[in-house]
Amino acid sequence: MVEEKNKSSPDEKSKEDVKQDKSGQQGKTWGYDLYPERRGTFKPKLGSVLIGREGKENIDKLKCEKNVFECVKNSPIVKVMMAALKSSGCPIDIRRHISCEVCDYSVSGGYDPELNQIVVCQNVSTRQGMVQGVLAHEMIHMFDYCRNELDFKNMEHLACTEIRAANLTHCSFASAWSQGDASWLKIKQAHQDCVKTKALYSVLAVRQIGKREAVDIIEKVFPKCYADLEPIGRRIRRNSDDMIRAFKEAAYYGYE
């Protein structure tokens, strides 16, 4: 998914260059087949248009962009991530670095390091809360790529950033329960299992490797990556004030 560094920076590549890189088998291997609009291969199907599933892409894009704007303006967790990226030398221009697009229905968003862009799947993430979740999750990947010299071709790097994103912005007792990882007797273990499950699904979605290999890689890097809470500083629980607390604490980390 990521070309070798220093050959050309993400902002120097055009969309046409990247479309060519993603059009063949390599694109499928690195997960770009899940983003047909990004590959330049999306065409509405007549059957889907007739049932209202496709054919309204322009309207969906406007709704998605409105939700993105509202999240950037009002969401505490998105504000924390944008401040952290800015402090790390990678400020976000929402017109340049966030793109609403049609995706495969198996994904709700993604991060494209080739163009240094977050993709919000306008046909899947249709509510503001979903968009907030996508932005927070993918900004963790963007932060890691900016600050930690993340190499998405390195499976350990990929597993680590997926662990961090699930740990910081996705998993709670409720989400662990929905994934079948929860237990009232082992709440801490349930959270860790949720993170591992979410990271595994994410890795398998974008890499053509076996499940056993992916599990082994996740287990290898899990202790270090699970303990890394930068830049949020805490795990965000559902239906709590954690996002507001993280926003108030951001200044202590130099993220303003």
Please list the active-site residues.
Answer: 138
Assess contact for 31 and 206: CB atoms under 8 A. Answer: yes
b/e burial code for range 161-174 (CB count within 10 A of at least 16 → b)? bbbbbbbbbbbbbe
> Which residue type does 194 have?
C
109-112 β-sheet, strand order? 98-101, 117-121, 109-112
Kindly give, in sequence order, each residue whose CB lies less than 8 Å from that of residue 41, ignoring residues fewer than 6 positions away. 23
Structure token pair of residue 163: 């662990």
Structure token pair of residue 244: 């507001």
Phi, psi of 21 (to 5 degrees): -65, -30
Element holding 168 (H helix, E strand)? none
Assess contact for 152 and 1: CB atoms under 8 A. Answer: yes
In the three-class reduction of DSSP (H, G, I as helix; E, B as strand; rest coil), residue 100 is classed as: strand
Kindly report the number of other CB atoms within 10 A of residue 236's CB atom: 21
Q: Give, to the nearest 10 degrees, the angle between helix 187-206 and helix 155-165.
A: 130
Assess contact for 205 and 107: CB atoms under 8 A. Answer: yes
